[in-house]
Amino acid sequence: MNNKQQGFTLLEIFISLVIGLVIIGGVLSVFVGIKSTTTETSSMGELQENGRFAVSLLTDDLLRQNFWGDYIGTLANDTLITNPAAPVNDCVGGGVNNGSFHSGIGNFRTLWATAVTTPTILGGCITNAASNSDVLQIKRAIANPVAANELNNNRFYIQSRTDAANIFAGNVAAPILDVSRIWEYQHHIYYVRNDSIGSTGEVVPVLVQGRLQNSGATPISFNMLVEGIERIHYMFGVDTDDDGVVNAYMSSNDVPEDAWDNIDDGTSNQLSILSVKLYVLVRSIRQDVKYTNNNVYQMGDLEFDANGDNYRRLLFSSTVSLYNSRVGLW
């Protein structure tokens, strides 16, 4: 009985190895492709989520700029019965009356913006602003009335009716104003700063919100809202012929000073701000060395050139009508 055993020849072994390597190479190629696609999809999803959140937040605040509950019109000296004094270290923007509270002189600015050119802005209350973005101030009442027994000691409030208003701190008794309701009073500030993350110290731009508070040595507390917000630019729609229609859009530094005052002085040549176009450029948190960004992003009258870096970006834009601009009723 012949029990002779036969194996593979050397040539057959080499052919099998080559076939195996081809199969393994194909599987690895598919795996790498799936991983790359997953990473890219995840990065783009994160960009979309961060951008939409930032636009939604800014839109909500802009829509309610100059809203004072039941009070009709813009806050003025003769209608404010009580008004807190200017706090120490307040964040004050451009103009003679652009702090957290009405200063008693000039027109109270409830909306104001400017391009950032230096880290220290708004009277020194901000020292870490990123250049080439804009800073925005908004004053408003939060659009939900509160009961007198629900006041927060760390907040300020506006008590209003159609012809008068009181502004007071939450740790004091509400002033007496007949036929009125109480709303939280807010001074919001938005700007972009650069933060370092991780052991590598990689720089990440973030959107920061300043919020008025009634405690501590700083009247405005700043908190990071969204990572990856690299640049925000605002274009303000102005009415140049007093017909209630936007005739042109201007960047913040081109808006005439009296347009920020939101007061109709009866002249036909005064510009009023009726809407805002906002541009939000969102950047990935980390670089992707397999991606080169040669895009140029148009942000109104400005351009941003990625200049061949390795960050993915998305540009968001939105137009917001300012319903409380030069109107008698919110």
pLDDT in tens, 96-142: 999 999 998 888 999 999 999 999 999 999 999 999 899 999 999 99
Yes or no: say if 326 and 272 are a contact pair by the CB < 8 Å rule. yes
| 29 in any annotated domain | yes
User: Token pair for residue 308?
Assistant: 């061949």
| 200 in any annotated domain | yes
Amino acid 330: pLDDT: 34
**Residue type for position 48:** Q
Amino acid 31: pLDDT: 64
> Dihedral of the CA atoms 20, 24, 25, 26 (nearest 10)?
110
Rg of the Cα atoms in the chain = 28
Domain, as residue range, for 48: 14-321
| 83 in any annotated domain | yes
Q: How far is CA 31 from CA 20, 34, 58, 287, in A?
A: 16, 5, 41, 21
**Residue type for position 295:** N
Q: How far is CA 180 from CA 46, 148, 187, 233, in A?
A: 44, 11, 21, 38
CA 286 to chain centroid: 21
Low-confidence ranges of the chain (pLDDT < 70): 1-8, 30-41, 198-199, 263-270, 326-330
Query: Half-sphere exposure (CA, 13 Å, Cβ side) for 306?
Result: 20
Domain count, the chain: 1
| 329 in any annotated domain | no
Residues paired with 221 in a beta bridge = 211
Amino acid 223: pLDDT: 95
Amino acid 209: pLDDT: 97
| 7 in any annotated domain | no
